[in-house]
Structure 1
Amino acid sequence: MTGVFSLLPEGWPGLLAAPGDSPSCPAAGGHAPPAAPGRLLELIAAAGLRGRGGAGFPAAVKLRAVRDAPGRPVVVANGEEGEPGSVKDRWLLRHRPHVVLDGLRLAAAVTGAARGYVHLSDAAAERAVRRALAEHPADLDVEVVRTEHTYVAGEETAVVRRIDGGPALPTAKPPRPFESGVGGAPTLVANVETLARIALIHARPDEAADIAGTHLVTLSGAAGAALVEAPAGTHLKVLADLCGHGRAQAVLLGGLFGGLHGAGWRDLPLDHDGLSAAGGALGCGALHFLHPEDCPVAVATEAVTYLAAQSARQCGVCVSGTGALARTLAAVARGEAGDDAAAQLRRWSRQLPGRGACGLLDAAARIVATLLARFPDRVDAHRVDAHRVDAHPAAACRACAVPVPHDGRRFTVRVP
């Protein structure tokens, strides 16, 4: 099953409604004059809106930091989706560009910015955004910046670097963009869904909490893919059943960032705090379901191999760390790893997080850590028993017998 689905109760404001039904689009009367910036910021804070780019950082805190920094701020709508399993940002830019641009101008009003950028790599999204700007120019100087699509191109310092004319590669922190971003100015780099929800909050302030508590999620797996809008707290079982993934035995959370979860995944809630309490992460809202015929070792190996190939190759620890994780996992999958492989992987998964300039290394380490913690029997089943005379790589499981691709094709979802 593929498509776009809404699980919102009747009457709730959502982003998957027809364009003419959206209170922030010109078809519904144009962009409303900005409310008092301070009042809008209070609404965003009270609603508890969190960023939708992956980290889930409180949106009001980020807006306030940019507003209060010295210098004239810049605002950026970040539509570069690095996660191969996520389509929500490209879908919004293609089909709801006016709502995103409305959120960008409102963020500019809150922070005091006079310039804005839309950062993206998708050609169809670029055409839609440029058309929207021509149809209904924002009261803000907005420039569209196209970048190459990579896993790290949407990281906030990579966004700033690209807009400033450099490559879309992360830089060391500090400073962070809110301190010194585009052209050295304090810069808000906000995910396009975050901005779209700011636009909805501005249009329907009485429903701010419902708007902030709603998520766009991309579901994928052997049964197909879909983009779904659902209230926070929706059990993952509901999402899985909607798209034919009810048979799944596990789920890879948050794109490639939230790790693997096995037993009990059906009762996990769709929200940052609930998934964090269970040792996972919502990330960008991409969920990849593993069916009984999928081997968690094979899935983890492909994910980490993809991350290793996508490394910006700027941090030595990332290059060596992701490479070591990928090679060792591949050996486990082939049935060629020795007795110490699991111990090595466990040690690396504990030592590597936090040591790179971006979250790529952390994502790889978390996948390995959750594989070892939640599927130890499956890992052990791939181990070579050196004392067996019949031990041979051919004994590896059928799902792991195919070569591991480097392009993340298992997780890649097409925009519906």
Structure 2
Amino acid sequence: MTLSHATRVDVRVIGDARLLAGLELGRADRHRHLSTHGAQPELTREDYTKLSEAVGLRGRGGAAFPVALKLADLPTRGIEAVVVNGSESEPVSRKDRLLLTLAPHLVLDGATGLARALGAPHVLIAVHDMEAAMSVREALMERNDGLAIEVTDTPGRFVAGEARAVLSALDGGLAIPPGRRVLPTRKGYHRRPTLLSNVETFAQLAVLARLGAKRFSSTGLISEPGTQLLTIDGAVQRPGVIETPIGVPLEAVLRFAGAEAGPVLLGGYHGRWLPHGGGVVLKRPEVSAGIILALGTDTCPLGEVHRVSQWLASQSAGQCGPCVFGLASLVDDFDRLAKGDPSGWHDAQRHLGLVPGRGACAHPDGSARFLASALEVFGEDVRLHLAGGGCGRQVRGVLPVPGGSW
């Protein structure tokens, strides 16, 4: 089904719709939301913990951290806030902003229900998309949750969506990850214990609260039941957001979207390349933030990767050498490699061994993972470029790269 023009993406379902249920007519207001999903039950902290543990619910951002463990790490008292991270700054992903735009009440149900269960007085929704923010603010006018709920506009830069960067922005600072790695459950909003997760996680909690563990587990894998939202783009006939059971084969999703044959990128620009879509099932943490990019066979892979490397380097927060100098060096390495200079390949191998594990945030590690897997999967293209003739294909810009820099 193709929904609201305002979302600018196609939305489809494989199997039964849960998160996307009732959206055939576009954005669901409070009345249509309740007629589709029913009233949100009032659950205790223990209820949420037991339900999350029973179904193995994992966060639907990049880390895929178990929700039950996150709840268990919070103190029994003094929880300051529940934070909905809607700063979906990965260039390809559309799933979270789509939920905020078309199904804001489902997200708010999950966040406010959990806030009441934890005794947290604040619910904060961090959003960088203007349309999504307007939709949430409109939804709040239709509700009376008895909590202090605030929608905060955040920058759309890549690292600004990292959890600690979001908390910094909410506290009035810059939207960059601080060098210290302190869990939000210990020191989050106002440096007090905070439950922070991404948009889809809260929507999943709202569905889980209504269905219970048994009905929630009627689809998906035994080890990880339920559904997931996937954004698919690139060399496909039908790009957009797809809701599927967890564990669906990647090949099935690619066929469903009309993808061309060829390499596939899982997890976005901090993800990894696969030579093809065969033999992979889509679950966390392999699928990471739910992003699938089909490259096809008509574009130059090394040229595409070089374009993305330039953008990744431009997104550095400028806090550490591995990010500022390491990523810039890798951009130069891949440029020389694509032009057939063997020193580019050798320098890329050396720099890829120096960057990971030394940055102030996850951006250098994720970027290095993306580039290292490209060298592995595109080995034949590397050989052709180093032989001096190139691969014979133009760079068609299949991989989306936003304009602008930090």
Specify which of 305, 308, 311 is matched with residue 313 of structure 2: 308
Once residues 401 and 30 of structure 2 are traced to their aligned partners in structure 1, the CA distance between those partners, rounded to angstroms, is 31
Once residues 369 and 136 of structure 1 are traced to their aligned partners in structure 2, the CA distance between those partners, rounded to angstroms, is 48
- Structure 2 unaligned segments of length 5 or more: list them: 3-8
Q: How does 1:80-119 map to 2 (within 5 A)?
A: 80-119=87-126
2:241 alignment partner AA: L
Cα-to-partner distance string for 1:103-122 (whole Å, 9 max, x where unaligned)? 10122134321111000011
Between 1:23-32 and 1:33-42, the stretch displaced more is 23-32
Cα distance change on mapping 1:129 and 1:30 into 2, 3 Å: farther
Once residues 367 and 174 of structure 1 are traced to their aligned partners in structure 2, the CA distance between those partners, rounded to angstroms, is 23
Q: How does 1:135-284 map to 2 (within 5 A)?
A: 135-205=142-212, 206-209=214-217, 210=219, 212-224=225-237, 225-245=239-259, 247-263=260-276, 265-272=277-284, 281-284=286-289
3-state SS of the aligned residue for 2:161?
A: coil
3-state SS of the aligned residue for 1:76?
A: strand
Cα-to-partner distance string for 1:292-345 (whole Å, 9 max, x where unaligned)? 11222122212221110111111122111111111111222233x2x2332322
Cα distance change on mapping 1:120 and 1:266 into 2, 3 Å: same
- Structure 1 unaligned segments of length 5 or more: list them: 274-280, 386-390
Aligned positions, number? 385
The equivalent of 2:58 in structure 1 is 50
3-state SS of the aligned residue for 1:172?
A: coil
The equivalent of 1:382 in structure 2 is 385
* CA drift at 1:34: 1.2
Cα distance change on mapping 1:34 and 1:379 into 2, 3 Å: same
* CA drift at 1:290: 1.0
* CA drift at 1:180: 0.8
Once residues 267 and 36 of structure 2 are traced to their aligned partners in structure 1, the CA distance between those partners, rounded to angstroms, is 33
* CA drift at 1:351: 2.7
The equivalent of 2:5 in structure 1 is none
Cα-to-partner distance string for 1:172-193 (whole Å, 9 max, x where unaligned)? 2332221111111111111010
* Aligned: 1:345 with 2:348: yes
* CA drift at 1:401: 5.8
Contact 2:299 2:394 in 1 (8 A): no
Contact 1:75 1:187 in 2 (8 A): yes
* Aligned: 1:410 with 2:404: no
3-state SS of the aligned residue for 2:251?
A: helix
| Percent of pairs with identical residues | 34
TM norm structure 1: 0.86
Contact 2:159 2:177 in 1 (8 A): yes
1:112 alignment partner AA: G
Cα-to-partner distance string for 1:77-102 (whole Å, 9 max, x where unaligned)? 11111110100010000000000001
Cα-to-partner distance string for 1:137-182 (whole Å, 9 max, x where unaligned)? 3232111110121101110000100000111111123322211111
1:266 alignment partner AA: G
3-state SS of the aligned residue for 1:267?
A: coil
- Give me the CA root mean square deviation: 2.5
Between 1:114-123 and 1:203-212, the stretch displaced more is 203-212
Once residues 20 and 28 of structure 1 are traced to their aligned partners in structure 2, the CA distance between those partners, rounded to angstroms, is 9
Contact 2:332 2:344 in 1 (8 A): no
Between 1:320-329 and 1:204-213, the stretch displaced more is 204-213
Once residues 232 and 166 of structure 2 are traced to their aligned partners in structure 1, the CA distance between those partners, rounded to angstroms, is 26
* Aligned: 1:8 with 2:19: no
